[in-house]
Amino acid sequence: MALKQHKDERVRYEQQVDNSRQYVLPFIEETHPIKPGTNVLEIGCGEGGVLVPFMDKGAHCVGVDLNELRIDYANNFYKNEVAAGKIKFLYKNVYDADFLGMYKGFFDVIILKDVIEHIPEQEKFVPYLKNLLKPDGQVFFGFPPWYMPFGGHQQLCEHKLGMMPWYHILPKSLYRGLLKMIGESDGVIRELSEIHDTRISIERFERIIKSSGLKTVNKQHYLINPIYKYKFGLQPRKQLGIISAIPFLRNFVTTCVYYTVGM
C-alpha cells in the first residue's frame, strides 16, 4: 500500500514545505534563530521542500542528496531561486573532498530529516558533520526510532500485509522471507533490508551523539509523528514526558524524535 507521496514528487515537495514550516523550523529556532545570511545545509534533501521556510527567512541554503532524480526535481521546482543564487542543490556525497573543500566550517545549521536511519556507519558519519559546522552551529535530526510500530518503513510495501506493525524487528532473514512471501519487489526488499541494517533506536542515537563529542541542546519526542498528518490524516501529538523518560520501552510507542545538537 505505497502512499501517494511515494509516487508523486509534487505531493512530497508540498508536504515537506508544510511540515518544515510548522514543525522543523520552529523547533530549530527554539535554540538557533534563522536570519538573513544564516548558512543552512540539508543532507538528504530529496525534492528540497524542507528548505523553503529557511530560504523565506533569508537563509543561504544548500541541499545535497545521493538520489540524482530527486535533485533534478528540486532544481526544477526552484528554478528562479537557484538562478538568483538563494539556494543550491547538489547531487553529491558530503564525504567528497571537493564538498569539504567548499564548505569546511561553513554551516550554522545542518538538517537531517528522516535521513539518519538510511545512513550506514552512523558512528563515522555523525562526527564527520563537525567538519562542516561552525563552532557555534547546530545539527537537527528528525527520525522514526527503529522499534516503533512502523520503524522498518513498512509503508513502502505494496501489499496490505506489509503494513503490519513491528514485524520488521524479526531477524533479517525471516523479515526478508516474509516480504518475499507477500510478493514485495526486489527494490522494496533491498530498501527495507538496508534500513534493517542501519536501524537506529533512541538510545543508540544518544550514544552516538555523546561519543561524537556533541551535546544535545533540545529534544522532542512524538507519540504521533507530525508527518502522519499527511500520510494517514492523524493529528500530531507530543509524547508524554513520563514515557519519554523510560529507556528502551519508549521506542515502541514513539513514532518520531526531533533533536538539535551542538559542539
Ligand X SMILES: C[S@@+](CC[C@H](N)C(=O)[O-])C[C@H]1O[C@@H](n2cnc3c(N)ncnc32)[C@H](O)[C@@H]1O
Out of 58, 67, 69, 185, the residue judged to bind ligand X by CB under 6 A: 67
Binding segment for ligand X (CB under 6 A), chosen from 65-73, 184-192, 198-206, 247-255, is 65-73
What are 214's three cell numbers?
Answer: 556533541
Out of 11, 115, 223, 263, the residue judged to bind ligand X by CB under 6 A: 115
Interface with ligand X includes 81 (CB under 6 A)? no
Out of 9, 65, 81, 184, the residue judged to bind ligand X by CB under 6 A: 65
Amino acid at 40: V
Out of 34, 50, 52, 90, the residue judged to bind ligand X by CB under 6 A: 50
The CB-of-71 to ligand X minimum distance in angstroms stands at 9
Q: Which is nearer to ligand X, 121 or 136 (CB)?
A: 121
Read off φ and ψ for residue 112, nearest 5 degrees. -130, 95
Binding segment for ligand X (CB under 6 A), chosen from 53-61, 97-105, 107-115, 159-167, is 107-115
Interface with ligand X includes 234 (CB under 6 A)? no
Interface with ligand X includes 113 (CB under 6 A)? yes
Interface with ligand X includes 64 (CB under 6 A)? yes
Interface with ligand X includes 221 (CB under 6 A)? no
3-state secondary structure string across the chain: CCCHHHHCHHHHHHHHHHHHHHHHHHHHHCCCCCCCCCEEEEECCCCCHHHHHHHHCCCEEEEEECCHHHHHHHHHHCHHHHHCCCEEEEECCCCCHHHHHHHCCCEEEEEEECCHHHCCCHHHHHHHHHHHEEEEEEEEEEECCCCCCCCCCHHHCCCHHHHCCCHHHCCHHHHHHHHHHCCCCHHHHHHHHHHHHHCCCHHHHHHHHHHCCCEEEEEEEEEECCCHHHHHCCCCEECCHHHHCCCCHHHHCCCEEEEEEEC
The CB-of-161 to ligand X minimum distance in angstroms stands at 23
Interface with ligand X includes 43 (CB under 6 A)? yes
The CB-of-46 to ligand X minimum distance in angstroms stands at 3
Size of the site for ligand X (CB under 6 A): 17
What are 79's three cell numbers?
Answer: 528554478
The CB-of-230 to ligand X minimum distance in angstroms stands at 10
Out of 9, 28, 34, 46, the residue judged to bind ligand X by CB under 6 A: 46
Binding site for ligand X (CB under 6 A): 16, 43-46, 50, 64-67, 70, 94, 113-115, 118-119
